[in-house]
Amino acid sequence: MSDLIQDLRFGVRQLWRAPGITAAALLCIGLGVGANSATFSFAHAIFLRASPAREPDRLIRIFGGWADGLRYGSFSRPDYLDLQDQNEVLEGLVAFAIAPFHLHAGDRPERIWGQTVSGNYFSALGIPPALGRGFRPEDDSAPGARPVAVIGWDLWQRRFGSNPGVIGQSVRLNGRSLTIIGVAPQGFQGMDVGIAADLWVPMAMNDDLFPGRPRLPERGQRWIGGIIGRLKPGVTLPQARSNIDAVMARLAERYPDTNKGLRAELCAESQASLHPAVRGGFVAFMTPMFAVAVLGSVLVLSPLIPALRAARADPAAILRIQ
């Protein structure tokens, strides 16, 4: 222990006598740590985020695709309902679509991002509310019949002061009065990376909240950007693809004007929280970022190597190098 203390004292004295070398070393270490930390934090947020849903390994995401080459597109609400009713391989098929809203709560309006979601959204994903309740299937059964909303944890803190009495309060959303029935758990902002939702409303409220663009009954209006299902026990992803393909073929035959050429693209949810259309670009972007971070660390430390070698051979040399 006494030798360690003496070495530490010697090291501190040498650093104190050579402030230039000390400052350069600290700067290099700071730059290297900062660059690597930022790179790995970004990669973790994009690619390694833990899913907030229950049993995430069984979740798959379904996108709409076309025979002419377009992949990872959207579905209409009638398409979603048919997939929900006719598939034999998935349980708890949920749908959601991101949308901007004008929120009026109290005396201050605010522009927020929210989602219109199917009535089984919270229950099927296994997201228990922090307060109140989530939606029920009947909340999404009839257009405009259930003007209710679940607010996000951050919005609850920011606009309602974490008041537990928020349940039952009314807010105005796009000029429509809605009743708050629940508060989402802390940290939950939706299933998509990079899209933070502050509020959720039943999908059946869409045409009331956006009266200028009715979408609910129109099979040709494809605006549902997210459909997630949970594989039934024992069902594999290839089996799910085969069954969903059969459903899509029946829909194309029955509705040739709107569904001819429409197919389904299935992938594991772990590969789809960042949209597959941009995931490849992020991977291509992150690879050189990792290389630059490592190379940068080497380059900023390389000028110190002669000083470190000299100090090892002759401790007094560090003063001459400065």
For every residue of 27-62, DSSP letters joined together read HHHHHHHHHHHHHHHHHHHHHSPPP-SSSGGGEEEE
Beta bridge partners of 229: 60
- Cα 117 from Cα 226, distance rounded (Å): 9
Candidates 213, 225, 184, 254; CA nearest to 77 is 225
Q: Given this model, what pLDDT does residue 152 score?
A: 98
Beta bridge partners of 264: 64
Q: Is 111 exposed, middle or buried (0-12, 13-18, 19+ CB in 10 A)?
A: exposed
Q: pLDDT for 24-81, tens place per residue? A: 555 555 555 554 554 444 444 444 557 889 999 999 999 998 877 778 889 999 999 9
Candidates 221, 185, 189; CA nearest to 203 is 221
**Higher-pLDDT residue of 104, 3:** 104
Q: Given this model, what pLDDT does residue 159 score?
A: 94
For every residue of 93-123, DSSP letters joined together read EEEEEEEEEEEEETTEEEEEEEEEE-TTHHH
Q: Given this model, what pLDDT does residue 128 score?
A: 96
Residue 252 tokens, joined: 């194309």
pLDDT at 189 over 60: yes
Whole-model pTM?
0.74
- Proportion of the chain above pLDDT 90, given as a percent: 60
- Cα 19 from Cα 26, distance rounded (Å): 10
Beta bridge partners of 170: 179
Q: pLDDT for 115-161, tens place per residue? A: 999 999 999 999 999 999 999 999 999 998 899 999 999 999 999 99
Q: pLDDT for 216-248, tens place per residue? A: 999 999 999 999 999 999 999 999 999 999 999
